[in-house]
Amino acid sequence: MAESWAHPMEKKTWNRLSFYLNIILFVVIALSIVLLILDSYQAGKLAASGRPGDLLSTAWLYVGRDIAFLSIAFALIFFQFFRNLRIIMVRSW
């Protein structure tokens, strides 16, 4: 019999880990939204001042970083949501 590298996890342990993962994701989302607001404001101030160059490019890269973190966190949350919804629908049939 082949040995499995992944050990089966109890449902209670899986639910606890899933809960902590969701808390971490919500903290990441909140932090990313705050940083997105601050970085967008800073990029807007730099763009309005008419100073092209590295500072403006760096500011827009920070905005892109914030959007990337938000996209990944929301994708994970929606994946969990639709997975749980599918499990509920399958069990109810």
State residue 47's pLDDT score.
Answer: 87
Q: Which of 26, 35, 24 is nearest to 66 (CA)?
A: 35
| pLDDT tens readout for residues 8-66 | 778 788 788 888 988 998 998 999 999 999 999 999 998 888 877 888 899 899 999 99
Q: Which of 31, 13, 14, 37 is nearest to 72 (CA)?
A: 31
Residue extents of the structural domains in the chain: 18-92
Asked if residues 31 and 48 have their Cβ atoms less than 8 Å apart, the reply is no
Q: How confident is the model at residue 80 (pLDDT cuts 50, 70, 90)?
A: confident
